Structure 1
């Protein structure tokens, strides 16, 4: 017989495990699921995302829970195997079938396959139950059971460290404490005579990209007999380019060599097509097909370039021979309850990456090994994936049972991800080397003995520098591995000359002004960020009491989980803006603050991309793209996929061809307010390009009075040949005639008469400028799918009040006299009005489209 697969999605019930009250079982709409989802559906708890309901559901974490279902399947014959496959159990789970324990899980990140052929009740119903023990309580027990290890932790409580569960469930500085449990990924029943366990490729692409050679593999599972055959094939656009019939040996592994001339390569978006081949395997016994498996795979040549140069040691990616500036985002789990994530939501998120010209996403180590739907979308859209192993902000142990579970977790997930061309690097952890530095744990870069690492006060080094690279090499030999993030060859994790850094001297640390981003670069900035409020609809949706809908209210502060956020956010706001007290205005200034930080950072650090041999900065990843619940955080898009202005600032800074202005900000060097220093005249202009050919560009630089809208100095016009995939410095250390009339510097570049990019540099700080009487005009087309915005005087931070389901082509922009901003409304309707504002606008007389 061929394989029969039955998903066990319906017919489930759940309850608290020690609740034996008759009739207490609650129906479960579908599996995958988690406890909070089902209790909320059955109206047993309030919505944890609303108001302070997070506190009202804390009790769930200390309880045990049980799920049950019944299913009917025929008893397996001697030639047919029946398996139950659990793709994810969260986390300490005991599974019984017809009263017999068949599985005990201790790891959320692994899947399990159990042969139940001899336990079935024939044609009768089979009872399946899964008891989930409290991960919170079990974690505390594990700490007591292992006094030989000191569980140093930097975020939340230490009980998370010995538990192989998504660490953010214990809460983080952007997320709630919501300890989940349940069958969080599918439960599947499979019946087969013999099966294929996995298929994959290993290959090398020649340096000239003209040839790809390697092997196609299939690992076979239970029931396979010597003499069975497997047909391995590779198909591109319906053309079979490789097909080979292989005899099955006793080892259960088949492989066949292949050679492709002029292969169709997978490229990141903006650099070429993300081409993929269809890899398939068919298992035959004589003429009968017993099983088959199909995957889409990509072929690309990927290198992490780490070469000594004038700045230290480079760190950037080269894909198919092309140096890639990796502008993008960090990614946290997209929901506190991952069982309710859908393929469509994943696709929606990844579309936003492409829409904003972002090319890399970093899967953070405190979450999960991401879902297949996430990785499929990255493959399809051409998004590079940096994936951390599941460790974050702690000192992890190395006792035997922990390492045994970890090995299965790591090998499973490397195998699952290795066929995805989007995955270009694995990193061992997130910020665990910073924990080593903070607590002064033992670390000697000159010590090369893994055995000594295991017995040191920082035993996790044994995982990151010995075990994980070994497992990666064995499972996916061509994969790139990096011991941690941040990491720089054993130097201090903040060393800007080597490896990647997390630049948190903006917001955290020294709280340096965002205008000084150019002084804060590294070889690869894999984290940095600035907080902002989400749009008003999101805030009002989850803070329901109008009396709490204002800055500084208890509910607003409760929802923002960042430590000292009140002081940090207010310092940055007060340094740069007149501080408003109403919610709409305060929301707006935080959003402009975040967008301005993104503008300064992405433009300055992309400028340092430089040219071959002098790639001072190889990439920038904002913390963070997304939220796991509706909140105030560093996210540039909120939980409901509503974009903040910072999203658009990044999109503009990562255009294939962009112009940047750096304007001196001397006001703070004197330590006090200085009206003349505010209006600095010194500036640079450069062009950043990711194009693969040089481009002839026309540059115009204007100097415009903020008070009158008139020119205060002669306009600069010039024609430049912008170098391919490089930074072209155009104007350096230039200065216009000093004037007491505050002015903006506005640069526009055109190609073939079409505007491709612009930038505007304002005097700093913005709070000293007079933004009155801007005469802003907002007009809509008759079909309401286009909005035109203009102004008589320079305008800072024009923002439409976005909402869920509305898609705009741009937002959070500046206005310059004589220019019009034309915004496309590509999804949703503005027929019920669309609020807007800008810095200095009179909120009481706000106009609505």
Structure 2
């Protein structure tokens, strides 16, 4: 007897607006109503021009989907033999977006109001007329239902940021209601697969609890002790568990004492005895070791001892993980330790890769995570306003060694806690923790994104020390505390006992929650650059914390991307109506231009799009470099981990736009991506000079007010710099650092290089030069500006370099740079210059990849070799500051 028959109901669907009579063909399920309407030419692409406004009516309608399917042959045969009780048939809806009523042959079988919940419905009444069945799903407007729910619960003061209050009680991707980087596209539809399952027995809810002992940071001598838990539905004489590694069996055992004669509606729980795996091959984050993965198979075996009635497969990665929160000289630490090794979590924040989530294929997920890994990033944070992502996302993270910080889906709101809402949230959390807990890449569950900030902003009731009664929280003006500090941690304890839970992001210790950054405890969102005080991005090194889980700087995407979503050539200029419309960040016109004009010379005439794009990208890359290399410096050494990680807001976009993303919607990398990659290199050198803010800094301590009487020659007369080497390598490295001082005007050295030999400490920051003051031999001011260029040499080869420029860049003259781009084979070029060059950038586009971009050029250094795929190298435009 076969164990399971699965029929995916992906084709043959139709859809229509409730008020229409004509059904239209739906290409496939999973899907959504917007993409189907686009295929029929009924609406334009909302990602293009101002079309988002043209499709707003779609969200206000009720939509119907339907399909027909045949009764499964196995169920027909069982019914003919009078054995229908021995075969179960389930309809499985992995995800319905969002308010959905499902009927089968005219009978209501399901009502759903949570996008994040899977439903399994036992089918007991098939059609006997030719065994043809009609399945129909009716989707109601999420916004209307949300407003109705808010009105029905006046006991809750719905405080919702970014959008209107309708999203507060709706368990749907919160960004669908619009965000400061994404459109308002309130779609609906079966966004995950719908399938029919026929079976005689089923294995579900497989969980592996394990410990790794005698670790000591090495596999040798280690041992994994594991217990296997599972639920089995229906009859079974035995349970068999098999663990394999790289196709080779590690163990296989069968227990026959589990005889079960119960029906298909009865689940019985199986727990194995403790199983020992000697010298397990550990799973490591990228750069620290291999991503070793085992496959576990749990089977229900029939009475004949041979027939497999059901099987469930699961990936297992053996590793240990800790969130180290210890008192130290800076406050309380916050960093991850994997397999006994401290890991600096440099990475980025993730939002849905498409506003229409079902369009993101497994390959596209892998392409995204490959970008993360190739960019030397070791962590990605799944933000709480999107979705619990597809299994393909986490599988890619497992395979490529990228750690996952996983938010629960709550963001920027004070959520309600009426009973039906809490029950829905509990189901949502339980299902998704259960679905994702086996992934070794997932190292932390986080309760929400920025919800605690509302406590301080609106003076909500919250006393972390005095009030420890969850029931009292429900009666306070901040009832959502019950979700974050009681319900969700309890779910995590029940479903994944060894998992790490963090109440929110940002979150300190309950006393310093978030709106006011506390650099001594927890994780922080540092938005006093761009938002808040709008401080210079050069101040970021002094604005860090124990773990920076958000910060960012906006930039335009490359010109080719802009041309794909701005169809009118007359609109392709900075600040056009279309480009402003696609930038959803409030006040972006003032903020972007303020940072731009503080640092760079204004673009000719204000309408040179290519130059404007390049300058915004250079500015964003500069901000990333200042932040990542300086905060990584704060990684320090064991026992003095001042900063445990940095996650830029944001990695990606959900549509073509102007935003904080370092890679655009089409997976085209901005120069900032490469700046992060260089700063997070396994072994890298960094240089930073003292910053003088020539726009807001008081001229003298004697002045008692801010003044415009500043001295712009400070960058010539008072030069102080630091040089350090950061390493994530575990062995000691012997190296040499060479620091050069090169005239921006002439390209000549202004003094002899500074050379230091050193031992680079493992997994630490090694200081090379601290507070080094540059003075001329006669004590007078320097006559010209120069760059400070540091290079790291190991075994006679340069393994990394960094360049520090005098700020602001706009004061510098970049005439006559002598840039040369020479062919170095059919798919490579070498780039060099006679004088220092700031931000050499190839204008990237979809389908084209370059190995490096947005780099500086310093004469006397080796040429920068760039591998180029997807286009002939001489056909790819390039530019640099001042060209």
Q: TM-score, normalised by structure 2?
A: 0.93
Report 1:177-576 matches (<5 A): 177-206=184-213, 208=215, 210-221=222-233, 224-225=234-235, 227-246=236-255, 247-248=257-258, 252-256=268-272, 257-286=274-303, 287-446=306-465, 447-492=467-512, 493=514, 494-576=517-599
User: Structure 1 residue 44: deviation in Å?
Assistant: 0.5
Select 1:732's aligned residue among 770, 776, 785.
770
What is the aligned partner in structure 2 of residue 701 from structure 1? 739
Q: Which runs of 5+ in 1 are unaligned?
A: 842-849
In structure 2, do the counterparts of structure 1 residues 608 and 623 end up closer, same or farther at CA, with 3 Å as the change threshold?
A: same
User: Structure 1 residue 199: deviation in Å?
Assistant: 1.8
Select 2:828's aligned residue among 782, 786, 794.
786
Q: Are residue 632 (structure 1) and residue 658 (structure 2) matched?
A: yes
> Matched residues in 2 for 1:217 and 1:233: separation?
13
Q: Mean alpha-carbon deviation: is it higher for 70-79 or for 448-457?
A: 70-79
User: Structure 1 residue 821: deviation in Å?
Assistant: 3.6
Q: Are residue 771 (structure 1) and residue 814 (structure 2) matched?
A: yes
Select 1:815's aligned residue among 857, 860, 866.
857
Q: Which runs of 5+ in 2 are unaligned?
A: 79-83, 217-221, 261-266, 700-707, 777-781
> Matched residues in 1 for 2:259 and 2:808: separation?
72
> Matched residues in 1 for 2:107 and 2:582: separation?
45
Report 1:17-36 matches (<5 A): 17-20=18-21, 24-36=22-34
> Matched residues in 1 for 2:141 and 2:456: separation?
32
CA contact (8 A) 1:233 1:280 kept: yes
Partner SS state of residue 357, structure 1: coil
In structure 2, do the counterparts of structure 1 residues 443 and 487 end up closer, same or farther at CA, with 3 Å as the change threshold?
A: same
User: Structure 1 residue 25: deviation in Å?
Assistant: 1.2
Q: Are residue 805 (structure 1) and residue 847 (structure 2) matched?
A: yes
CA contact (8 A) 2:828 2:873 kept: no
> Matched residues in 2 for 1:716 and 1:354: separation?
34
Q: Mean alpha-carbon deviation: is it higher for 659-668 or for 32-41?
A: 659-668
Select 1:608's aligned residue among 631, 634, 637.
634
CA contact (8 A) 1:703 1:745 kept: yes
User: Structure 1 residue 207: deviation in Å?
Assistant: 5.2
Partner SS state of residue 803, structure 2: strand
> Matched residues in 2 for 1:393 and 1:249: separation?
51
Q: 1:664-703, CA deviations, whole angstroms, 9 ceiling, x for partnerless residues?
A: 1124332545232133421011111111011101110000
Select 2:723's aligned residue among 651, 671, 685.
685
Select 1:69's aligned residue among 51, 67, 70.
67
> Matched residues in 2 for 1:395 and 1:608: separation?
34
Partner SS state of residue 413, structure 2: coil
Q: Are residue 143 (structure 1) and residue 159 (structure 2) matched?
A: no
Partner SS state of residue 218, structure 1: strand
Select 2:46's aligned residue among 30, 45, 48.
48
> Matched residues in 2 for 1:709 and 1:395: separation?
57
Q: 1:273-294, CA deviations, whole angstroms, 9 ceiling, x for partnerless residues?
A: 0101101011111232111121
> Matched residues in 1 for 2:58 and 2:832: separation?
53
> Matched residues in 1 for 2:692 and 2:817: separation?
27
What is the aligned partner in structure 1 of residue 219 from structure 2? none
User: Structure 1 residue 252: deviation in Å?
Assistant: 1.1
> Matched residues in 1 for 2:741 and 2:486: separation?
57
User: Structure 1 residue 208: deviation in Å?
Assistant: 2.4
Partner SS state of residue 104, structure 1: strand
Q: 1:109-131, CA deviations, whole angstroms, 9 ceiling, x for partnerless residues?
A: 01111111333436421101000
Q: 1:170-211, CA deviations, whole angstroms, 9 ceiling, x for partnerless residues?
A: 000000000010000000111111111232211111252512
Q: Mean alpha-carbon deviation: is it higher for 522-531 or for 438-447?
A: 438-447
Aligned residues: 834
User: Structure 1 residue 754: deviation in Å?
Assistant: 1.4
CA-atom RMSD in angstroms: 1.3
What is the aligned partner in structure 1 of residue 17 from structure 2? 16
What is the aligned partner in structure 2 of residue 674 from structure 1? 711
> Matched residues in 1 for 2:240 and 2:650: separation?
44
CA contact (8 A) 1:199 1:280 kept: no
CA contact (8 A) 1:315 1:524 kept: yes
> Matched residues in 2 for 1:85 and 1:122: separation?
23
> Matched residues in 1 for 2:128 and 2:329: separation?
72
> Matched residues in 1 for 2:118 and 2:18: separation?
23
User: Structure 1 residue 73: deviation in Å?
Assistant: 2.1
